[in-house]
Structure 1
C-alpha cells in the first residue's frame, strides 16, 4: 500500500494496543493473513481517517517501545501532522503521557535533523495554534507539563491562536502542579496572557488562593494588569467574594483597590453589587479611602448596593447585610447624590423584594439618609412586588390554616389531659398546668375563629383601604392561636406528670426549644436592630417619616407590627413560664 493510504484495521489495532512485535511483523510483511492486505506488507505511511500516523496512535496511547521502533524505521513520522495539524508530540501531550513525551523529544534530538525541523517537532502548532504544552496544560496534566517545561522551557513563551498562554490554560484546568511547573521552569519570559487581555491571575482568583499566591510570588506585576474592560484581578476577586484572595492581592499592592474599570467602578463597587458583605468590610479595612470613589455616573458603592436590589443575582439577605455593613462602617455619607440627583433612599425604588426594601428604608432612616428634593405629588409608590396579589393569595392559605387550628383546639376541649372521672369531671381539675391548658386552648380556638372571619368575611366585604388592616390584624390573631396551641400542648404534657418525671423534662426541653425558635424567627424578620426599629417607629423625624409613608407606605406598618408580634411572644412565653413555676 502506498504512503498516505488508509491504515488497515489489523495494523491499527496492534498499534493502539501497543503490540510492538506484531506491528513490526506487519510492517515487514510477516504474519499478515492472505487476502486482508492488497500489498506484500503494511507501511509506516498508512494513516487513519483523520490522517493520524502510527506514531500519533502510539504516542497518544503512551506506548514508548512502539514509539522507539517506529522512529527507527521512519524518522519522518516525528514531524508528521494529521488533519488538525497535530504532531505525535501533540497526541502524547493531550493524553498526558509524560514518558511518551520524553521519548518523542529524546528521539527527535538524537536524530540528525535540521534545527528548523526539530523546532517543528517540539514547538509545532496545530490548527488552533496550540503547542504540545498548551494541550497538556489545558487538560491539567501536571506531570506532562513538568516534562515539557523541563525539556523545552521556551514553549512557556508561546500563545495560541486565541492569544492564550499555557500558564492561563493551566490555571483554568485547576492543576496546581501544572501551574507550579510553568512558573518554576526558570523561563523569565514565560507568558501569562489570556483572552480579552486577561492574565493568569484574573483566572486564578476564581480557582483558589493557592494559585493566586503562586502567581503573585512569581510575578507581582500581574496584580495590576487590566483586561479589555479595564478590570483588574481585584475586581474579579471582589465580585466573587473570596476574602483570602482579596487579602492576598491587597497585601501585594494595596493601591490596586483604587483602580477603576471602564465604567468607573472600583473593586469596592463590585463587592456590594454581588452582595459580598465580608469583601466590603475587608476592602474598607485595607483602603478606607476607596469609599469616596464615584463611578462614571457619580455613584458611590452605597448607591451601587441599593441600585442592584432589583437583580436576581443579588440575594436579598446579602443585599441587606452589605448595606448594613456599609452604614455601620461610619465611612459613608448617606445623603450624597449621584449625577442623576438620586440619593441611596431614592434608589431603593429599584429593589424588588419587600423585606429587603423595608430593611433598607429602616437602616437608612437610622443613619440619617435623606431623599432628593422633589414635588410630593410627583412621588410614585414603591411597586417592586405586586403586594395586592400576594395578599389575596396569602389570605386564602391563611384562612385554611386558621380553620384547621380552630378545629384542633375545639377537639382538644373534649379530650383533656388526664381524661375524665366517673362523675364526668376532669381528673386534673384544679391543677395549675391543666387550668393553663384550658385557657390556652380557649385562646387558640377563639383567635383562630376571629382570624378566619377577618380573612374570609371582613377581607372580602370591606373597602379597599381597610383590606390591609383586616389582613394584618388577622395575622396577629392567627399567630396568637398557633402560639397558644403549641404552648397548650406543652402545658398538657407538664400537667400529666410530676416535677421529676420524664414528661416534665420533655416539656422543659421543648419549651426552651420553642422559645429559641421564636427568637430566631423574630431576629430574621427584624428589619434592623431592635434599637433601630424602635427609633424608626417612635422617631421624631416627622418630615422624613411623611416622605417615607408616601413612597414606601407599608414600611412603618410592617415595623410596628413586628414589634407588636415580639410583645405578644414575650407575654405568652412569660405567662406559661410563670404558670409552670407555680405548679
Structure 2
C-alpha cells in the first residue's frame, strides 16, 4: 500500500475530460498541481483508488489523442491492470468506444513485444472476460466489429463462467454485434449450463434466430444440462415464426426429449401455446405419440394444466383419436388427470367429443369418477359430479358401507362465517324496506294520505316493499335464531332457505325502487330512462349470477335432477350428499329470477 502513488485530482480530472495538453503539462511539471504531492510533477504510474491508470481513464472515456500521447510516453500502460484486472482495452470495450478500442489494439500491436501482445489484447479480468466479452455483453456492436477484425481469435474464447462473447451478444439484443462475431468461422456459441447462443436467441426474435441458424445449423440440436434443445425453449415461449425457423433447419429436433422425457410438443402443451402445438403437429405429426418419463403424451400434459383449447383441437383431429384414451404408467388417462386437477373445462371438452371412455380404471382401480374425492373446492366438485353423471361415468365396484362422505373442504366453517355476514345483509335490507314504507314516493298530502294513493305503480311499490321487509326478516330469523337452535343436520336446510329468502328480498327491493321511479315520472322524463337502466342492470346481474352458479349446462342439471339413473344417483348421494341439493337450489334460483324479470315486464306494462 505504501508503494502505491495515488493520482492527484488535477491529473484525474484532466484525463477524464480528455484535456491532453493539460495532462502533458502536469506530467512534465510545467503545471504544478494543487494539493499534496510527493514530486515536482505528476507521473504516469499514478493510479486511482481502483488502481486504474491514466490510460484506463482515457480509454474508458474514448479520448484517442490522449491514448496515443500516453502510450508514446509509457507503452507499459497498455498491459497495466487495475484491481479488477481490467486492462485499458477492457475499459474502452466496456464503454463501447470503438475508436479507442482500435487505437489501443493498434498501439499494442506496434509497441508491445510479440509474447506480451496476446496478454495485452486478449487479457482477462477477474471474471475471465476478454475485451470482446465486455463489448458483447453491453451490446456495443461497433466496438465488437473492431475487436473481431483486429483480433478474431477472441471470438473463440469463453470467460470464467464458460460463456462465449456470442452468447453475451445475443443476450444484449445487438444484431450488429452478433453479425460481427458469427463472421468468424471458429467463434464459440457456448453459454451457461451447456446452453448455446440459439437457446438465448429464441427469446430475442426471429432475426437473431435466422442469423445463427444460417451460420451454424447444428446449434438447433445442441442440448443444455437438462437436455433441452432450442426448440424446447421456443415451444415453451410460443413464437411460431421461431419454431418454424428451427423446424425448417432441423425437423428431427421435434423428436428430441429432455431429461424428463418431454418433447417440444410437451413444452408447448404445458404452457397452453395452442398455435405452437398445431404447428408442431403439422410439421411432425409423429411427435404426438412421444411419451415422457411418466408415460404421458402431450395431451396428458395439456389436460393436467387445464388447457382446454388444446384438448378441443385434439378431439377434432381424427388422426389423434388413438391417443385420447392412452394411459400413463399409473394407468391414468387424460380424463383421470383432468378430473384429479379439477379442470372442468377440459373434462367437458373430452366428454363432449364422444371419443373418451369414462369407465377406464387406473392401476389403483379408480375410474375418473372416483378421483373427484380429491377435489378440494365445493363448486368444482359439484360441476364434475354433474357432468360425469350426464355422460354415464361409473364408480369402481366397492362395498357401500366403506364409502366416506366427501370432506374436501370444511364447508361447515364456511357456512357459519357466511351466516353471520348474510344476517347483517338481511337485517339491513329489512331496515331499509321498513323505513321506505314511511317515506313513500310522491310524499303525503295535507290529509296525511299518500299523494299517489290508487296509482298502480304506487300499489306495486307497497307490495314489493312489504315482500322485501318480510323476506328480509325471515332470512334474519333463519340465519341467527333457527341456525343456532336447530339440530345440526337441519342447519343446512335453514341456511339454504334463508339464502333464497334473502335473494327474494333483494330482488323485491330493487324492483320496488324501479316502480317508485316509474310511478313518479312521465314516459319522457329522466326518471323513466333511469328505470329502464335499472331493468337492464337487473337483467344483466341475474344472467351473470345464473351463469356463475350453474354447475354445467341447464340441460345437464335437469338430467341430473330428473334423470332415470337412480342407482348411480343413489351412489352419488352417499358420497356427495350436497350435489343434488345444490342442483335443486340452482333450478329454484332460476325460477325466482324468471319470476322477477316477468314482474318487471308486467309492472312496466301496467304503467
Q: TM-score, normalised by structure 2?
A: 0.79
Aligned to 1:484: 508
Matched, 1:66 2:66: yes
Preserved contact between residue 3 and residue 43 of structure 1 (Cα < 8 Å) = no
Map residues 56-455 of structure 1 onto 2, 5 A cutoff: 56-109=56-109, 111-114=110-113, 117-142=116-141, 144-145=143-144, 147-149=146-148, 152=151, 154-173=153-172, 175-177=173-175, 180-181=178-179, 185-206=182-203, 215=212, 221-237=218-234, 239=236, 258-267=255-264, 269-270=266-267, 292-300=289-297, 304=301, 320-321=344-345, 344-364=368-388, 371=395, 381-455=405-479
Q: What is the alpha-carbon distance in structure 1 between the residues aligned to residue 251 and residue 562 of structure 2?
A: 44
Three-state SS of the structure 2 residue aligned to 1:7 is coil
Map residues 555-566 of structure 1 onto 2, 5 A cutoff: 555-566=579-590
Q: 1:457 to 1:123 in 2, by over 3 A?
A: farther
Stretch deviating more after TM superposition (120-129 or 403-412): 120-129
In the alignment, structure 1 segments of 5+ residues that lack a partner are none
* Partner deviation per Cα, 1:242-273 (whole Å, 9 max, x = no partner): 67766766677666555443233445555565
Aligned to 1:25: 25
Preserved contact between residue 254 and residue 280 of structure 2 (Cα < 8 Å) = yes
Q: What is the alpha-carbon distance in structure 1 between the residues aligned to residue 68 and residue 342 of structure 2?
A: 61
Q: What is the alpha-carbon distance in structure 2 between the residues aligned to residue 522 and residue 266 of structure 1?
A: 42
Q: What is the alpha-carbon distance in structure 2 between the residues aligned to residue 477 and residue 429 of structure 1?
A: 28
* Partner deviation per Cα, 1:312-342 (whole Å, 9 max, x = no partner): xx9x999555555566677765655555655
Preserved contact between residue 406 and residue 446 of structure 1 (Cα < 8 Å) = yes
Aligned to 1:463: 487
1:402 shift after superposition: 1.4
Aligned to 1:40: 40
Aligned to 1:475: 499
1:372 shift after superposition: 5.2
1:414 shift after superposition: 1.7
Three-state SS of the structure 2 residue aligned to 1:263 is coil
Q: What is the alpha-carbon distance in structure 2 between the residues aligned to residue 344 and residue 148 of structure 1?
A: 64
Q: What is the alpha-carbon distance in structure 1 between the residues aligned to residue 576 and residue 282 of structure 2?
A: 34
1:13 shift after superposition: 3.1
Preserved contact between residue 254 and residue 265 of structure 2 (Cα < 8 Å) = yes
Q: 1:516 to 1:247 in 2, by over 3 A?
A: farther
The structure 1 residue matched to 2:600, chosen from 573, 576, 579, is 576
Q: What is the alpha-carbon distance in structure 1 between the residues aligned to residue 59 and residue 119 of structure 2?
A: 16
Q: What is the alpha-carbon distance in structure 1 between the residues aligned to residue 214 and residue 546 of structure 2?
A: 48
Q: What is the alpha-carbon distance in structure 1 between the residues aligned to residue 342 and residue 71 of structure 2?
A: 62
Q: 1:231 to 1:113 in 2, by over 3 A?
A: same
Stretch deviating more after TM superposition (552-561 or 42-51): 552-561
In the alignment, structure 2 segments of 5+ residues that lack a partner are 307-337
Q: What is the alpha-carbon distance in structure 2 between the residues aligned to residue 435 and residue 252 of structure 1?
A: 79
Preserved contact between residue 304 and residue 341 of structure 2 (Cα < 8 Å) = no
Stretch deviating more after TM superposition (76-85 or 398-407): 76-85
Preserved contact between residue 341 and residue 375 of structure 2 (Cα < 8 Å) = no
Q: 1:353 to 1:318 in 2, by over 3 A?
A: closer
Stretch deviating more after TM superposition (334-343 or 161-170): 334-343
Q: TM-score, normalised by structure 1?
A: 0.82
* Partner deviation per Cα, 1:371-412 (whole Å, 9 max, x = no partner): 555555555555444322222222211111111111112222
Three-state SS of the structure 1 residue aligned to 2:13 is helix
1:38 shift after superposition: 0.8
Aligned to 1:11: 11
Matched, 1:523 2:520: no
Stretch deviating more after TM superposition (3-12 or 483-492): 3-12
Q: What is the alpha-carbon distance in structure 1 between the residues aligned to residue 254 and residue 359 of structure 2?
A: 24
1:177 shift after superposition: 3.9
Q: What is the alpha-carbon distance in structure 2 between the residues aligned to residue 217 and residue 534 of structure 1?
A: 61
Three-state SS of the structure 2 residue aligned to 1:134 is helix
Q: 1:292 to 1:451 in 2, by over 3 A?
A: farther
Q: CA RMSD in A?
A: 4.1
Preserved contact between residue 376 and residue 409 of structure 2 (Cα < 8 Å) = yes
Q: 1:69 to 1:528 in 2, by over 3 A?
A: farther
The structure that has the greater radius of gyration is: 2
1:475 shift after superposition: 2.3
Q: What is the alpha-carbon distance in structure 1 between the residues aligned to residue 563 and residue 394 of structure 2?
A: 15
Higher relative contact order (CA closer than 8 Å, sequence separation 6+): 1
Stretch deviating more after TM superposition (131-140 or 489-498): 131-140
1:17 shift after superposition: 3.3
Stretch deviating more after TM superposition (123-132 or 246-255): 246-255
Preserved contact between residue 29 and residue 40 of structure 1 (Cα < 8 Å) = yes
1:350 shift after superposition: 4.8
* Partner deviation per Cα, 1:5-30 (whole Å, 9 max, x = no partner): 33333323332333333222222223
Three-state SS of the structure 2 residue aligned to 1:33 is coil
* Partner deviation per Cα, 1:295-314 (whole Å, 9 max, x = no partner): 333445565566668xxxx9
* Partner deviation per Cα, 1:93-146 (whole Å, 9 max, x = no partner): 33333443344334434x244555444344333222222333333344455445
Q: What is the alpha-carbon distance in structure 1 between the residues aligned to residue 164 and residue 440 of structure 2?
A: 78
1:192 shift after superposition: 3.4
